[in-house]
Amino acid sequence: MCGLFYYVIMQTIIPEHLILEFGGKLSTHKKNTAIFDRGAKALHYYQVKSGEIKMVNYSPDGQEFIQGFFREGQSFGEPPLFGDFAYPASAICCQDSRVYKLTKVHFFDLLEKHFEIHKCFNELLSQRLQYKGMILNEISSHPPEHRILTLISFLKQSFSPDAEFTVPYTRQQIADMTGLRVETVIRTVRKMEEEGQLTIRSHKIVI
Amino acid sequence: MCGLFYYVIMQTIIPEHLILEFGGKLSTHKKNTAIFDRGAKALHYYQVKSGEIKMVNYSPDGQEFIQGFFREGQSFGEPPLFGDFAYPASAICCQDSRVYKLTKVHFFDLLEKHFEIHKCFNELLSQRLQYKGMILNEISSHPPEHRILTLISFLKQSFSPDAEFTVPYTRQQIADMTGLRVETVIRTVRKMEEEGQLTIRSHKIVI
DNA sequence: ATGTCTATATGATTTAAGTCATATAGCAGC
DNA sequence: GCTGCTATATGACTTAAATCATATAGACAT
């Protein structure tokens, strides 16, 4: 059940004292620097202590596609550890960040000794598959308005199903998550406000 | 390490005798019928005994997006079981198929008693994330030629890295996996043959 | 107050892929 | 050997979103 909490109240996936107990170290990273690059071998488990990290692919002409954002308490870059393949995307700091780092062997050691945490990763990976499958379906066959609405509805559902939800992303970031261009997102969001599908409060999208 | 085998030699994810031991039943399904529909609650673990199943999303105008194909020995529809959410897509038989069906409680019982299998699912989910992330990046920012080449290269890498590989999908299926239209796939594949990027042998794509 | 940087905004133009129409080729069943 | 069905093929036309160009507005440091 950790997954629910993971989204809703941002609970840490592995408690900090356990990471430290198994030899984890805290490392600091400056804004706009990479924690690892696409193609690198996966050697560590990473968990955000503070700041914000994005997993991102760059196309030859410099366009970004954002696979996901990771904030306090969230882990990132585990699939290559479990599946034994190179990083398919780069981890870039959106802000100055502090990140726990645990070697692969110590991470697996921890999992073996803590079944309840191992189970959480199963749930976590499944929820990421749900997200990626959803975006994939949207990008493959739906127009901008539908893509954006699906994304922000999913975010609202995850973070604040009942209360009002302010989308914590810029138009550019929404574009990079939905395979659209900034201008298209800006135009579409304006149109959606006119149609009453969402509210814009001092440029922020509220739903 | 089961994942490697899973792709390369189609090893079954859970041995048949174990499924039966934990109360699994074999069910038969006719071509073009659904095993479960998008939106349904996830109650069972499924594993293919024979035939072929696709996980698919339909857009309002009837367009398909294929999230994945599953053949002998492969399991499908587990993420909603682990993550506790409704099926985000429907499972449709491409051929008459026989499928093992195991209730959720019995499946978790089996996992608890077989750690090595539990670990395999971690690896399996991670590889699916790799695939979806790859396709997502392709669809979001790359032209048809690049999308198709990335897909068939990945398939070749998974099934037959060294020997010649014949793509086991129709142009329509490739279109439905890459968010393109049949005509675009047909035209692009022809062009790619002219450019020497692949071979067409009696209409089948060979690489 | 001034300058810098980033985000949002909007119009004009282009273009790649989708859509529509139609043809042909291969295979399965009778 | 004919019929029907599915897959591949190809040309003509349309269109939605990308691209390009520019403007404005807000946040922040000096």
Please report which residue ranges of B31-181 form alpha helices under DSSP H.
79-83, 104-113, 115-141, 144-159, 171-178
Nearest to A132 among B1, B82, B136 (CB): B136
Compute the distance between CA of residue A60 and CA of residue A62 in angstroms, rounded to an integer: 5
Among A53, A10, A7, CA closest to A154: A7
Instruction: Measure, in angstroms, how far nucleotide C25 C1' is from residue B93 CA.
Output: 27
Chain CA centroid to CA B17, Å: 23
What's the pLDDT band for B9 if we cut at 50, 70, 90?
very low
| Lowest-pLDDT choice from A35-44, A63-72, A81-90, B110-119 | B110-119
| DSSP symbol at A166 | B
Cβ of B65 and A141 within 8 Å? Answer: yes
Report, in ranges, which bases of strand C sit under 7 Å from a protein C-beta.
7-12, 16-21, 26-27
Å between A64 CA and D21 C1'? 22
Q: Which of B112, B137, B173, B181 to mutate to test the interface with A (most CBs of A within 10 A)?
A: B137
Separation CA A12–CA A4 (nearest Å): 12
The nearest CA of chain A is from the CA of B5 a distance in Å of 12
Q: Does the CB of B105 fall within 7 Å of any strand D atom?
A: no
Cα B34 to Cα A164, B45, B131, B174: the distances in Å are: 38, 15, 24, 21
Residue B159: pLDDT band (50, 70, 90) is: confident
State if pTM tops 0.85: yes
Residues of B with CB under 8 A from a CB of A: 1, 3-4, 57, 59, 63, 65, 67, 78-85, 88-89, 118, 121-123, 125-130, 132-137, 139-142, 178-179
- Name the nearest CA neighbour of B134 among A80, A145, A61, A161: A80
Band of residue B2 on the pLDDT scale cut at 50, 70, 90: very low
pLDDT in tens, B161-196: 898 999 999 999 999 999 999 999 999 999 999 999
User: What mean pLDDT do residues B106-128 have?
Assistant: 92
Which region, left, alpha or beta, applies to residue B168 given φ > 0 means left and ψ of -120 to 50 means alpha? Answer: alpha
B189 beta carbon to strand D: under 7 Å: yes
Contact predicate B17/B109, CB 8 Å: no
Q: If you search the block for the tokens 């960040």, which residue do you land on? A: A97
Bridging pattern class, strands B64-70 and A53-58: unpaired
